[in-house]
Chains A and B, each alone.
Chain A
Amino acid sequence: MASKYHIHTEPAPPRFRPIGKLGIVEWREDCSSCHNCVKRACVYGLFRDEADALHETHDFLDYIYQCKGCLSCVQNCTKGILTRVVNPEYKRLGDAYFTPDIVAVTWFQSETGKIPVSGGGYNGPFSGAGFDSMWTDMSEIVRPTRDGIHGREYISTSVNIGRKERHLAFKDGQPVPPPPLLEIPMPVIFDVIPSRWRRGPIVAAVAKAAAQTGLLTVVDADDIPASPGRSNANMLPQLARAAQGDAFAAAPVVMLPDGEDVFEAHRALKARSPNRIVVVRTRANPRAADRISRFAAEGVEAICLTFDPHGREDAPANPRHVRDVLREVHRRLIKDGTRDQVTLISSGGIALAEHVTKALLCGADLVAIDVPLLLAMECRLCKECGPGRPCPIALENIDLDYAARRVVNLVGAWHQQLIEMMGAMGMREARRLRGEVGRCMFYEDLERDTFGRLFGQRKADRPAL
């Protein structure tokens, strides 16, 4: 048996003081310098620096990152001079999809490599858009789970890229070798870093993290320096045209953009090196299912279905989310009888560890991520960078090993969370997650089956999605 897949994480403290959510503000002029100052009692030691010199004035201290918001100091101060505020800078982190909470939790995972754990029941909304409108299942008495989390039974997160034939083929009485199939230890690959972030060692750091975790990183062929041994086994060159393929003979997988001559280019690449897997990247749009069905029929073995960073398809109005497009594409391929002949990689809209599991349940074989990799390096998505404009946190100066470490930590934490969710589902194989809608529940279905049964029609202005 192959050795157990394990991602080694080690703490990588932030380079900059992270932007925390809560801050304690005090009206220092009203302080009576009493002997029982609540700051001494902070169980998190937030004011430790200050407590040493409590009665002296000193510079501004930023407690925002560490404050856990227990309010003990605010509620106990003899003079009531402390108050709590939500950091306005925190609210500006990220964007509408990569919310401040997602940015903060990504930073935590990149720093520690640990699963975010907290007490108290879930404090978010009942459900939400996209991936937030589905729940994964768990197994109870009648469907015992496997305890892979504490290591008693191994939960495999490996998935394959490539074609799986339905049956053995023979030619002249000899078995035809099966098509190439690449196994990666986790259903995540790193997508091309958008040009805005291709600065300093960022691309190299992502490649290094891919090598350390055994995953793949998609790299623009033009960005790979022209020298022998220039690509490694963890690089997935994204070619602009088929002719570039010759330069990457060692790469086990290459990627081609969709286009008018894509089938020709695909055939040309396969003719030159039959043992190389060719992924075709296509944009998600309302016709994606037809397009992918065609790809499968034409013998394309892997497809990267690409959404925008917020997980939306290209559509003039009401673009669908990854969740719904994947379900449609998956069902279509099953109907065609070609589902196992293609690997479906979903790119875009993956912001949290749970999105990996959910994308797989909706029908992807694996996902590609990009923005979370940058968040791992402390990016705030301020979008102030650009061609010739510097990054406010100088990402171009980040240390390569440190940046790779942060990415590895994030991937390690995501891997652990994937295992948690699979363990709860009673699943031992990430390959079996694909399209397994029997192990998840969709908001609209649950609404229809419970409240729809009782209360009839949903109001038009409050659709289930």
Chain B
Amino acid sequence: MTIAPNTTSPQSPEDFVAEPGFAAVSRETRVAPPRYRNEIGKFVVPRPDACGQCGRCGAHGVHVRPWRYNLIIRPFEYRCIGPDCKTSGRYCVGACPNKALSVTLNPVFETIGDFRWTPDLIVSTWKMAETGQLPPSFLESETGNSGGGFDRLRFRFPAAPPKDLRREDISTKLLLNRRDDGREKVTIDVPWYGGGMSFGSTNIHALLAKVRAGKAWNTFSCTGEGGYPQRFIPYADHMIVQVATGLFGVREETIQRAKIVEFKYAQGAKPGLGGHLLGSKNTPSVAAMRETVPGVSLFSPFPFHSVYSVEDHKKHLDWIAHVNPRALLSAKVSTPTDVDMVAVGAYYAGAHIVHTDGSYGGTGAAPNVAKKNIAMPIEYGIGKVHQFLVNEGVRDKVTLIASGGVRTPADIAKAIALGADGIVTGTAELVAIGCIRCTACESGRGCARGIATTDTELLELVTIDWATQRLVNLYSAWREGLIDILYRLGLDSVSALRGRTDLLMHLDYEGSDGAA
């Protein structure tokens, strides 16, 4: 049966039951244009007065004269592909009879981004979210400029992939339950799922888009620790329920609804510290969900005050395992020096998924001192945990998920080659729906771009359908990029890449000469 998408907006969870079409979502890519008129691109093509309005410059959608317009409107500069265009035969600068046009680097482009999310990475993520295609080659879309970790790792591609390997045969599926414990063998279609963002920290429209993209790609999103708004219920099979130290919104029915329950022991951006929702974001609806008083800052403690040992941790997992006999259990931990011990402890306590979140992971608000200094980057943690699990003889009984600084399909592949089974993404999803990494998520009324906010006016800057499409496009492009890497490596599945450090090299080490 096919269900036609319904366009009238649903009012309550019951509407979804009555009209399953409300929750229908497709993984088809469709162009989702940027929501700002002046989208930022790498180049600018100013149109001076010398322009004769001849219209010979109409390539790549930069120069547009809409129907019934007399004049060409202000250029859509973000679509410009730069000087590479010279060879395309449709170069506007060359086509202009008045020599009025010129292409230069966009000065604003150079002011956005940072070491980890370079302007190129931000704009290439926007491109993927807009088109669903891999970004154009004039953007450096694989690595950032942090000078270490993923940014210095490269793949050793063989000269030519095996002849009998076909791209369409490459599997990107990931099995999440590797225990033979009678619980569902949950498999996701792409080796990643969406990270936890709480109702209260992030725009509900963005959260819904995240879980809808998760549904479209048969993967997951996560509630974070802000409770389970009713609007998530139609997507319950794709929503991980997080149990974090504040226990906000943790109830029997939310636990029972989930296919996966995640215990957030720590978060990479602020390991060893609790969460903090600023009072201004704690609106009446957020407060109702968390059963607190509106306007009050909400602190989650650290650690779980019921868990002070591995034995406590086991009891903790047992509790949820009994409340929901079908759920898989995930333990999200940070990357301390003994992360390998922690991971093994989590496994023996009954976790199906061990999720390590590296120190450069995302957050809605954290002390800068914690983001920069506490715990190690995920690039070190993955191999350490993987090797320890292998030595312990339990590697194939547990799914290892890495997060904290995974930005691109190349990063995903590198994380998996280092030893992870899959990854969790968060920041990249927000960039896809327009985040510019100004790091002011927590100030005033919240995110000025309507992403990390609960302000009723700012919420409307992001619409559910648009954001869903952007994420579906991003996932599609990512999967394409990942398959591309697997194909070039001659591997027929993501799982075949796990732990293949022999396929990696590091530009700072001997033997990496000739690397791209």
Contact with B along A92-130 (1 / 0, CB 8 A): 000000000000010000000001111111111111000
What is the 8 Å Cβ interface bit string for chain A, positions 438-458, against chain B (1 contact, 0 not)? 100100001001111111111
Encode B296-313 as 1/0 by CB contact (under 8 A) with A. 000101110101111011
A446 near B436: Cβ-Cβ < 8 Å: no
* Cβ–Cβ contact A85 & B107, under 8 A: yes
Check if A120 sits within 8 Å of B362, measured CB to CB: yes
Which residue of the partner chain A has the closest CB to B266? A140
Cβ–Cβ < 8 Å partners of B111 in chain A: 22, 69, 84-86
Determine how close the nearest CB of chain A comes to the CB of B193; give it in whole angstroms: 18
**Shortest Cβ distance from A127 into B: residue:** B148
Q: A116 to B365, alpha carbons, bound, how many Å?
A: 10
Q: Does A385 contact B (CB under 8 A)?
A: no
Question: B363 contacts the other chain (Cβ, under 8 Å)?
Answer: yes
Known contacts A138-B375, A144-B308; A150/B266 CB under 8 A: no
| Count of B interface residues, CB-CB < 8 Å | 105
Give B492 Cβ to nearest chain A Cβ, in Å: 24
A148 to chain B, nearest CB (A): 10
Cβ–Cβ contact A426 & B272, under 8 A = yes
Assembly CA distance A298 to B447 (angstroms) = 60
- Contact flag A145-B302 (CB < 8 Å), given A44-B448, A121-B269, A354-B369: yes
Contact yes or no, A135 B374, CB < 8 A? yes
Contact between B116 and A424, CB atoms less than 8 A apart: no
CA distance A417 to B273 in the complex (A): 11
Chain B 320-343, CB-CB to A under 8 Å as 1, else 0, gives 000000000000011011110110
Q: Does A33 lie at the interface of the complex (its beta carbon under 8 Å from any beta carbon of B)?
A: no
Contact indicator B342/A142 (Cβ below 8 Å): yes
CA distance A79 to B74 in the complex (A): 8
Given contacts A126-B146, A141-B346, A450-B383, contact A455 B272 (CB under 8 A): no
- B443 on the interface (CB 8 Å rule)? yes
- A147's contact among B302, B334, B346, by CB below 8 Å, is which? B302
Q: Kindly list chain A residues whose C-beta atoms are within 8 Å of the C-beta of B69.
A: none
Could you list 23 A-B pairs, sorted by A, with CB under 8 Å?
A70-B448, A71-B438, A77-B37, A80-B37, A105-B368, A119-B440, A120-B363, A120-B441, A121-B268, A122-B116, A124-B146, A125-B148, A138-B271, A138-B374, A140-B333, A141-B307, A142-B342, A420-B369, A420-B370, A423-B272, A424-B272, A450-B379, A462-B507
Determine if A145 and B272 form an interchain contact, defined as CB atoms under 8 angstroms apart. Answer: yes
Additional A-B contact list (16), CB under 8 Å, known A44-B443, A115-B369, A451-B508 = A71-B112, A74-B38, A76-B36, A76-B37, A84-B107, A117-B365, A119-B365, A126-B146, A127-B147, A141-B346, A145-B272, A150-B301, A451-B506, A452-B509, A453-B383, A454-B383
Contacts of B368 in A (CB 8 A): 105, 115-118
Chain A residues whose CB sits within 8 angstroms of the CB of B37 once the complex forms: 75-78, 80
Write out the residue numbers on chain A whose beta carbons fall within 8 Å of the beta carbon of B274.
147, 149-150
**Is residue B424 within 8 Å, beta carbon to beta carbon, of the partner chain?**
no
Tell me how far the C-beta of A465 lies from the nearest C-beta in chain B, rounded to whole angstroms. 12
| Complex partner residue of B265 from A75, A115, A140, A425, CB under 8 angstroms | A140
Q: Which chain A residue lies CB-closest to B273?
A: A424
A140 to B346, CA, bound (A): 11
Residues 135-165 of A, flagged 1 when their CB comes within 8 A of B and 0 if not, give: 1111111111101011010000000000000
Q: For the complex, give the distance between the alpha carbons of A121 and B149 in Å.
A: 15
Q: How far is the CA of A79 from the CA of B301 in the complex (A)?
A: 48
The size of the chain A interface, using a CB distance under 8 A, is: 76
Known contacts A145-B302, A147-B301, A423-B273; A135 and B147 CB within 8 A of each other: no
Contacts of A119 in B (CB 8 A): 363-366, 439-442, 447, 452
Q: Does A353 count as interface, using CB distance less than 8 angstroms?
A: yes
Query: CB-CB contacts of B232-272 with A at 8 A, as 1s and 0s?
Result: 00000000000000000000000000000000011011111
Q: Taking the complex as formed, is B166 at the interface, i.e. its CB lies under 8 A from any CB of chain A?
A: no
Report the 4 A-B pairs with minimum CB-CB distance, sorted nearest first: A119-B441, A424-B272, A126-B148, A138-B272
Check if A421 is an interface residue, CB within 8 A of chain B: yes
Instruction: List residues of chain A with CB within 8 A of the CB of B341.
Output: 142
Which single member of A126, A354, A454 contacts B373 (CB below 8 Å)?
A354
Q: In the bound complex, do residue B302 and residue A140 qualify as a contact, i.e. CB atoms below 8 Å apart? A: no
Task: Say yes or no for B501: interface residue by CB 8 A criterion.
Answer: yes
Kindly list chain B residues whose C-beta atoms are within 8 Å of the C-beta of A42.
448
Q: Is the Cβ of A70 less than 8 Å from the Cβ of B339?
A: no
A176 within 8 Å of B by Cβ?
A: no
Contact partner of B501 (CB less than 8 A), chosen from A115, A449, A454, A456, is: A454
A43 located at the interface, meaning its Cβ lies under 8 Å from any Cβ of chain B in the complex: yes
Asked whether A83 is an interface residue with its Cβ less than 8 Å from the other chain, the reply is: yes
State the Cβ distance, A142 to closest chain B Cβ, in Å.
Answer: 6
Task: Name the A residues within 8 Å of B319 (CB-CB).
Answer: none
Partner of B336, one of A137, A423, A457: A137
A359 CB to closest chain B CB, in angstroms? 13
B512 at the interface (CB under 8 A from A): yes
Name the A residues within 8 Å of B363 (CB-CB): 119-121
Asked if B439 and A120 sit within 8 Å, CB to CB, the answer is yes
Q: A125 to B115, Cβ gap below 8 A?
A: yes
User: Is A72 in the interface zone, CB < 8 Å from B?
Assistant: yes
B366 touches A117 (CB 8 A): yes
Scoring A residues 241 to 268 as 1 if CB is less than 8 Å from chain B, else 0, what string do you get? 0000000000000000000000000000
Interface string of A387-418 (1 = CB under 8 A from B): 00000000000000000000000000000010
* Chain B residue nearest in CB terms to A75: B36
Interface centre among B115, B269, B313, B368, by most A CB within 10 Å? B368
B384 at the interface (CB under 8 A from A): yes
CB < 8 Å neighbour of B273 from A105, A125, A353, A420: A420
Assess whether B21 is interfacial by the CB under 8 Å rule.
no
- Shortest B290–chain A CB gap in Å is 17
A140, B342: Cβ atoms closer than 8 Å: yes
- List B contacts of A145 (CB < 8 A): 272, 302-303
Among A120, A124, A136, A150, max chain B CB count under 10 A is at A120
Which of B38, B342, B444 is packed against the most chain A CB atoms within 10 Å? B38
Report chain B residues within 8 Å CB of A152: 301
The residues of A that contact B379 with a CB separation of less than 8 Å are: 450
| Cβ of A68 under 8 Å from chain B | yes
Q: Which residue of B lies closest to A43 (CB)?
A: B448
A360 to chain B, nearest CB (A): 13
Over the window 129-160 of chain B, the binary record of Cβ atoms lying under 8 Å from chain A Cβ atoms (1 yes, 0 no) is 00000000000000001111101000000000
Asked if B362 contacts A121 (CB within 8 A), the reply is: yes
Is B39 engaged at the interface, CB distance under 8 Å to the other chain? Answer: yes
Distance from A45 Cβ to chain B, minimum over Cβ atoms (Å): 8
Given contacts A123-B116, A458-B510, contact A75 B40 (CB under 8 A): yes
Given the complex of chains A and B, what is the CA–CA distance between A145 and B301 in angstroms? 11
Known: A77-B38, A80-B38. Is A141-B445 also a contact (CB below 8 A)?
no
B397 within 8 A of A: no
Is A335's beta carbon under 8 Å from chain B? Answer: no
Known pairs A138-B266, A149-B274, A421-B374; A121 contacts B40 (CB<8 A):
no
Q: Which residues of chain A come closer than 8 Å to B145, judged between CB atoms?
A: 125
| Residues of chain B contacted by A86 (CB below 8 angstroms) | 111
Question: CA separation between A141 and B342, bound complex, in Å?
Answer: 7
B376 at the interface (CB under 8 A from A): yes
A423 and B506 contact, CB distance less than 8 A: no
**How near does chain B come to A246, taking the closest CB pair, in angstroms?**
44
Residues from chain A with a CB closer than 8 A to the CB of B481 are: none
Answer yes or no: A459 CB below 8 A from chain B CBs: yes
* Bound complex: CA A393 to CA B383 (Å): 52
Instruction: Choose among A115, A126, A451, A454 the residue that contacts B367 (Cβ–Cβ < 8 A).
Output: A115
Distance (whole angstroms) from the CB of B368 to the closest CB of chain A: 5
Cβ–Cβ contact B508 & A458, under 8 A: yes
**With contacts A68-B448, A141-B310 known, is A441 near B114, CB below 8 A?**
no
- Among residues of B, the one whose C-beta sits closest to the C-beta of A451 is B506
